[in-house]
Amino acid sequence: MKKTNVLVIGGSATGLVGAMTAKTNYPDKSVTVVRKEEKVMIPCGIPYIFSTVECSDNNILPDGGLQKLGVDIIIGEVTGVDTKAKVCTLKDGETIQYDKLIMGTGSLPSVPAWLKGAELENVFTIPKNKDYLDELHKKLDGLGKVVVIGAGFIGVEVSDELNKAGKNVTLVEILPRVLGATFDDEFAAEAERLLTERGVQLKTNCGVKEIIGDRRVSKVSLNNGETLDADAVILALGYLPNTELAKSMGLEINDYGFIKADQYRRTSISDVFAAGDCAAKIDFATGMPSKIMLASTACTEARTAGMNLYELSTVNTFRGTIGIYSTCIGDTAFGVAGLIEQTAAKEGFKIVTGSFTGVNRHPGKMADAHKETVKLIVSKQSGVILGGEVMGGKCAGQLVNVIGVAIQSHMTVNDLLMMQIGTQPMLTASPAGFPLIKAAEIVAKALKNS
């Protein structure tokens, strides 16, 4: 029987960061990662294997950081955990005794039971599994018409990449807009315009009735009466927490199917922690249970678990997920942090919003200058930043991270007005017209006049 102080189950974002944090903070402890995959995919890079990075081999999460720290890696499948004896059993019969355990079992693609035809040949999902994705990539070669169902981030990015690879792509979304659950209408509308301009065909405000075919998919029937020809279908309908092992261990599961975990990422069983897609979380602004699954959030949770294994820190706690997303369509990036306007209003917040459009370089004649729009969602009562959206050049991804910090720090719109920034013509917008601060000015004026 192998013995280890800290055992981490799962090798993706949670497993990597949880193991590295545990070993860094407790260098005298032995740390072992057990994972199914020989090679682990970079989660957020998966859509780009279809064109931009060409193949899955160019999207691998390296093991060097783990190995350098002295973390042991075991390739195997965990079939059971005896939490009283603190013994983990692998499929090949090997057993591992641990002191502390971090569950990082991640998530699996959602395939609704009601969706007729999902079992047909050439109907695919997008899992974090290299072998499956390699086979998918191979099977798509030579197929012309691809229907992607679900226009969240994965659906949009996969559609754009397959379009770049020369496929005839139709993207189907039940909501009125692509990315409509994550962005306010004016941002989602621009994403639609760009996708259409680039060649992706959109079918919004309609769902899928069934997938049709004789052994192999040939058509997709929509609930608006339309029928689409299809050589392949990709289901991008979200993900579900992978918690079968957790259930067998007796860990408490919440109503959404996630492992219950507190602000230190402790579960209902002593010395067992959970982080990432498999773990429950609450929304930072509302305190309500959240279904958000993000690699970035998983890394934060994994750091929290790794730092609190042997000694609780009241500073290093996970206080809820803000939900910071970004994506890119061509040269235009979209980012969002916290609550969007429609969600804030639905939750019952009295809000004030303000948007400003400028340029992300100064002067705007710089070769890579791009129009940049920032929208802020602010509590009318307190002036605290509840959310923000960014649309612009590729630096928008970092700007939305700044908004995320503002939300997490409970900053007010006045804090943003007084924010000191560094600018440089080739790197940033003008200090006199910095879109984030200009949006704050608009909100501050509205608050003053309200």
Q: What is the pLDDT of residues 219-231, one digit of tens each?
A: 999 999 999 999 9
In the prediction, which pLDDT does 253 show? 98
In Å, how far from its chain's centre is CA 259?
18
Q: Which of 328, 338, 353 is nearest to 403 (CA)?
A: 338
Assess whether pLDDT exceeds 90 at residue 346.
yes
Q: Which of 448, 391, 22, 412 is nearest to 191 (CA)?
A: 391
In the prediction, which pLDDT does 45 show? 97
pTM of the model: 0.96
C-alpha span between 269 and 396 (Å, rounded): 41
In the prediction, which pLDDT does 302 show? 98
Contacts of residue 347, Cβ cutoff 8 Å, sequence gap at least 6 = 285, 286, 339
C-alpha span between 141 and 433 (Å, rounded): 47
Assess whether pLDDT exceeds 90 at residue 27.
yes
Q: What is the pLDDT of residues 291-311, one digit of tens each?
A: 999 999 999 999 999 999 999
Q: Which of 127, 129, 137 is nearest to 165 (CA)?
A: 137
Average pLDDT, the chain: 97
At residue 379, φ and ψ (nearest 5 deg) are: -65, 125
- The number of residues in the chain equals 450
Rg (CA), the chain: 23
pLDDT bin (cut points 50, 70, 90) of residue 450 is confident
Instruction: Give 224: exposed, middle or buried? Use CB within 10 Å, 0-12, 13-18, 19+.
Output: exposed
In the prediction, which pLDDT does 223 show? 96
Residue 155 to residues 184, 291, 330, 338, 342: CA-CA distances in angstroms? Answer: 18, 18, 15, 21, 22
Average pLDDT of span 91-118 = 97
Angle between helices 153-164 and 185-198 (to 10 degrees): 20
Q: What is the pLDDT of residues 359-390, one digit of tens each?
A: 999 999 999 999 999 999 999 999 999 999 99
Assess whether pLDDT exceeds 90 at residue 79.
yes
C-alpha span between 354 and 338 (Å, rounded): 15
**CB atoms closer than 10 angstroms to residue 329:** 22
Instruction: Give yes or no for a contact between 234 and 148, defined as CB atoms under 8 angstroms apart.
Output: yes
- Please name each of the domains of the chain with its CATH number: 2-108+240-307 (3.50.50.60), 123-237 (3.50.50.60), 335-449 (3.30.390.30)
Q: What is the pLDDT of residues 422-441, one digit of tens each?
A: 999 999 999 999 999 999 99
Q: What is the pLDDT of residues 164-176, one digit of tens each?
A: 999 999 999 999 9
Average pLDDT of span 41-53 = 97
C-alpha span between 230 and 174 (Å, rounded): 18
Structure tokens at 119: 């079992």
